[in-house]
Amino acid sequence: MTQRQLRELETEIARYRLLEQEVTDPLAASLIHVIILELEADLQQGGEPGQRPRQGDQKR
């Protein structure tokens, strides 16, 4: 992931955090929080967003 992509991902996370604070519907806030957690995990791994396998997609 390039430096530019990392900055864009950090910006996207910041936008979702603001949205999470502004939203009044508890379900919407929970869903936004899950999105933030997934984006932060992508940022920590330095991979492309959505590239890590989801729990249901993993082969046993």
Asked if the model's pLDDT at residue 37 lies above 50, the reply is: yes
Q: How confident is the model at residue 49 (pLDDT cuts 50, 70, 90)?
A: low
The model carries a pTM of 0.72
Phi-psi region at 52: left, alpha or beta (left = phi > 0; alpha = psi -120 to 50): beta
Q: What average pLDDT is seen over the chain? A: 84
List, for residues 39-48, the tens digit of each pLDDT value.
999 999 875 5
Q: In this predicted structure, what is the pLDDT of residue 30?
A: 96
Q: Where are the alpha helices (DSSP H) in the chain?
A: 3-22, 26-45
Per-residue pLDDT, averaged over 8-32, amounts to 96
CA-CA distance, 2 to 4, in Å (whole number)? 5
